[in-house]
């Protein structure tokens, strides 16, 4: 320290370490500001995308996220979002591509695998949908959607014995679940089961405005 008689306190002479500390503080502060800007950009883009999705404008929902994808092509959530929006827009080949990319980025994640099954069901590729659903069930035996999609794929192939096993398994866990009760009704209708009409009535008790039952009774 160098002391001057006319001052009450000493004036420090900058050292190499003090310059380094200032540089680090400046870098951290700059990084913080940039991170805030990036976070805000991501937030705004996603908010716009959700808004467009809510009104069925899936192309614009994709478009507002495209600049982000250019910056972050390996973002898992972003690839999953693109896949979902392309699926809603019935661009199934694109949806499949992005679900596959998301699955590569996070191999253990089930969301992209379930998404692929949805695409396969939408494109009437029922045998492959069945296989993919069963692959998921090997990892997660009681996965709600994997069981649901497997049943849909089996019903589409008229494999009612196999689908009945799944439906009974899931209804043991979710006895009042409308989706599985409707799938059970499909099985009963196609196999001429005597309990079908009573099942319809039970569904209407749970869901009085159920369009599936009203269209099939």
pLDDT in tens, 160-209: 999 999 999 999 999 999 999 999 999 999 999 999 999 999 999 999 99
pLDDT of residue 41: 84
Domain that holds residue 165: 137-217
pLDDT of residue 35: 40
Q: Is 120 inside any structural domain?
A: no
Here the CATH number for the domain that contains residue 190 is: 1.25.40.10
pLDDT of residue 17: 55
pTM: 0.80
Same domain, 105 and 164: no
Q: List CB contacts of 209: < 8 A, sequence separation 6 or more.
A: none
From 57, 89, 109, give the residue that closes a domain: 109
Q: Is 35 inside any structural domain?
A: yes
Same domain, 97 and 148: no
Q: How many residues does the chain have?
A: 217
Give the number of domains in the chain. Answer: 2
Give CA–CA dist 41/27, Å, rounded: 21
Instruction: Give residue-wise pLDDT tens across range 117-129.
Output: 999 999 999 999 9
Same domain, 89 and 164: no
Give me the residues of the chain with pLDDT under 50, please: 1-11, 13, 22-37
Q: Is 115 inside any structural domain?
A: no
Angle value at C-alpha 103, between 173 and 92, nearest 5 degrees: 90
Q: Is 4 inside any structural domain?
A: no
pLDDT of residue 29: 43
């Amino acid at each position: 320290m160098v002391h001057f008689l006319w001052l009450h306190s000493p004036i420090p002479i900058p050292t190499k370490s003090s310059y380094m500390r200032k540089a680090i503080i400046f870098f951290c502060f700059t990084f913080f500001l940039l991170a805030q800007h990036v976070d805000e950009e991501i937030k705004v883009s996603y908010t716009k995308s959700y808004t467009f999705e809510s009104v069925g404008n899936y192309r614009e929902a994709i478009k507002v996220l495209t600049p982000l994808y250019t910056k972050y092509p390996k973002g898992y959530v972003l690839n999953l979002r693109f896949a979902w929006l392309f699926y809603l827009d019935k661009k199934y080949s694109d949806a499949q591509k992005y679900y596959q990319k998301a699955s590569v980025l996070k191999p253990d994640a089930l969301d992209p695998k379930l998404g692929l099954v949805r695409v396969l069901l939408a494109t009437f590729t029922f045998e492959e949908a069945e296989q993919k659903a069963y692959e998921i069930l090997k990892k997660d035996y009681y996965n709600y959607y994997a069981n649901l999609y497997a049943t849909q794929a089996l019903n589409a192939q008229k494999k009612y014995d196999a689908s009945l096993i799944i439906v009974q398994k899931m209804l043991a866990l979710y006895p009042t679940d409308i989706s599985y009760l409707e799938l059970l009704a499909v099985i009963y209708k196609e196999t001429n089961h005597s309990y079908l009409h009573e099942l319809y009535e039970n569904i209407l008790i749970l869901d009085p405005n159920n369009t599936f039952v009203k269209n099939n009774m």
